[in-house]
Amino acid sequence: MPRAITAFSNPLVKSVRLLRDKRHRRDQRRFLAEGLRILTEAREAGRLPQAMFFAADSASHPLVAALIEATEAAGGDAIETTPDILSKLSGKDNPGSVIGVYAEFETALDAVDRTAAPLWLAAERLRDPGNLGTILRTADAVGAGGLFLIDDCVDPFSVEAVRASMGALFTVPIIRARWDDFLAWLRTGSGDLVALSLDASVDYRAPAYRAPTFLLTGNEAQGLPPDYAAACDVRVRIPMLGKADSLNAAIATAVMAYTVLDRQQPL
Amino acid sequence: MPRAITAFSNPLVKSVRLLRDKRHRRDQRRFLAEGLRILTEAREAGRLPQAMFFAADSASHPLVAALIEATEAAGGDAIETTPDILSKLSGKDNPGSVIGVYAEFETALDAVDRTAAPLWLAAERLRDPGNLGTILRTADAVGAGGLFLIDDCVDPFSVEAVRASMGALFTVPIIRARWDDFLAWLRTGSGDLVALSLDASVDYRAPAYRAPTFLLTGNEAQGLPPDYAAACDVRVRIPMLGKADSLNAAIATAVMAYTVLDRQQPL
């Protein structure tokens, strides 16, 4: 049965509140996800929270009830609480009706089966959590095998990244790796590494994009380091007709990803 | 010659600070833009600030010097100030080295020349300022004639939207219109209105996309109202292979826009 917590001073509330901070996420190896849609997406992907908080008046919603039941069946804690505490946990004035606390997870490089999907995404030193979440959401949409986070990327378990992913954090395997390790692993099997680069001379529509294709997007402000780009099999650019000469990193990744999908699965 | 302001209590500092708030932007009909890149983009697009604030140690930067000179030549105010005041004005701990105060501008529906570009973007009830700014940036990149903001969209002059646009706010014409007025105007000339819709049966790669094409994206959570979608000439969907069934609105717009560009200007 769910229990109720109504005091801000409750130790669980305090420790969960800390998960908004990266250092505490690292120490606890847990993270927060908010909102019925995202928690339901997680449940459908087989990820259940260690603890979930819900507003009393939401418990009768069928999806909330399903979450409570599944969480408790898996040995987790379902906690009825107040709108004020939900606000405090989420950091938003209008929190969703549910908040979940999940154990962190990730996929090891050695465990990746590159034949599992024709398209994989990779991002290098991505800084913006919204971009990371949006790229995860795009990765889900194009059926990518996973997202490689190369070198020092923003934390995929940050509240902003989880929110922007709209649940794709739970459905898209994430593999964190240093560049040298990633490249060494990549070269143990088949697959073309394709770099997005402003300096490239090849139009992004030209290559054949055989499976598996690994699409690599660089840092938002600086792009890829030249030696990283040089190590790729193909370097392509997206034409820009405007006055500025840049696209948002998540936008460029999506335009590329859907183009690869079109070449691999034409209409 | 630039003058210096170092007091938080300065009336100009106070009134500019208020521009972070929508109500005050509406009253003053002015808005804020931050950062050397964005202010330079604006200058190159012929938009100069009524007032600009800069940190003393940045005045020797050639682009800052060019901004100061152009602003003063146009009768604007160039104001040297402290890092603390720049922080206060920008609301960020690490503000850019320059902040500009600009008069709002927009393009009237009647002033739009649809033959000026083969592709136009439109967004309906867009809620997220980051999405709006990102769509402006994409509009610049694909050479769109402008962005129509239909019905009650988020304010394009909000600090977040201006920042996400990376300067495209100054290069892409913005036309705000009610749906009925937009549709009436559209039907006075040539052009296909193309709706992105999860319910559509036509794959986004199928249509011919003759010029001018008007691409319409709906509200992030709800999509387009059914009667709006029904009034469009073509309704298309972007295939999604994943477990979630959605793309970020700015992502979907960009995938569509680059596809139209490809059909109109093939490789």
CB-nearest partner of B251 from A138, A167, A242? A138
What whole-number percentage of chain A has pLDDT above 70? 100
pLDDT of residue B106: 93
Q: What's the farthest any 2 CA atoms get from each other in chain B?
A: 62
Query: Residues of A numbered 156-185 whose beta carbons fall under 8 angstroms of chain B's beta carbons: which are they?
Result: 164, 166-168, 171-172
B4 in contact with A at a CB cutoff of 8 Å? no
Intra-chain end-to-end CA distance of chain B, in Å: 51
What whole-number percentage of chain A has pLDDT above 90? 85
Average confidence score pLDDT of chain B:
94
pLDDT of residue B8: 83
How many beta carbons lie within 10 A of that of residue B12, not counting itself?
Answer: 14
- CATH of A109-264, picked from 3.40.718.10, 3.40.1280.10, 3.40.720.10, 2.60.40.10, is 3.40.1280.10
pLDDT of residue A199: 85
pLDDT of residue B161: 96
pLDDT tens track for A65-111? 999 999 999 999 999 999 999 998 888 777 778 999 999 999 999 99
Extract the residue ranges of chain B whose pLDDT is less than 70: none
Under DSSP, is residue A209 helix (H, G, I), strand (E, B) or coil?
A: coil
Q: Do domains A3-103 and A109-264 have the same CATH topology?
A: no
Helices (H), chain A: 11-17, 22-28, 36-44, 62-73, 83-90, 129-141, 159-165, 179-186, 226-230, 249-264
B117 in contact with A at a CB cutoff of 8 Å? no
Asked if residue B207 has a cis previous peptide bond (ω within 30° of 0), the answer is: no
**DSSP letter string, B23-61:** HHHHHHTEEEEESHHHHHHHHHTT---SEEEEEGGGTTS
**DSSP letter string, B145-210:** S-EEEESSPPPTTSHHHHHHHTTGGGTS-EEEE-HHHHHHHHTTS--EEEEE-TT--EETTSS--P
pLDDT of residue B1: 72
pLDDT of residue B243: 85
Q: How far is CA A245 from CA A127, A143, A197, A248, B118, in A?
A: 19, 29, 12, 10, 20
B248 in contact with A at a CB cutoff of 8 Å? yes
Residue A15, pLDDT > 80, answer: yes
Disruptive mutation site among A241, A245, A264 for chain B (greatest number of B CBs within 10 Å):
A241
Lowest mean pLDDT among A119-133, A218-232, B7-21: B7-21
Distance of CA A33 to the CA centre of its chain: 12
Please judge whether B137 and A203 are an interchain contact, meaning their C-beta atoms are less than 8 angstroms apart.
Answer: no
- Domain regions of chain B by residue span: 3-103, 109-264
**Whose structure tokens read 């609301």?**
B91
CB-nearest partner of A242 from B171, B240, B251? B171
Under DSSP, is residue A188 helix (H, G, I), strand (E, B) or coil?
A: coil
Disruptive mutation site among B44, B128, B241, B256 for chain A (greatest number of A CBs within 10 Å):
B241
Distance of CA A26 to the CA centre of its chain: 17
ipTM: 0.93
Burial readout A205-217 (b: 16 or more C-beta within 10 A, e: otherwise) = bebebebbbbbbb
pLDDT of residue A243: 86
CB-nearest partner of B244 from A41, A206, A238? A41
Q: Domain A3-103: give its CATH code.
A: 3.30.1330.30
pLDDT classification of A244: cutoffs 50, 70, 90? confident
Two structure tokens written together for B258 = 């680059």
How far B34 CA lies from chain A's nearest CA (Å)?
A: 16
Q: In the predicted model, what is the mean pLDDT of residues A114-137?
A: 97
pLDDT classification of A22: cutoffs 50, 70, 90? very high
pLDDT of residue B108: 97
Average confidence score pLDDT of chain A:
94
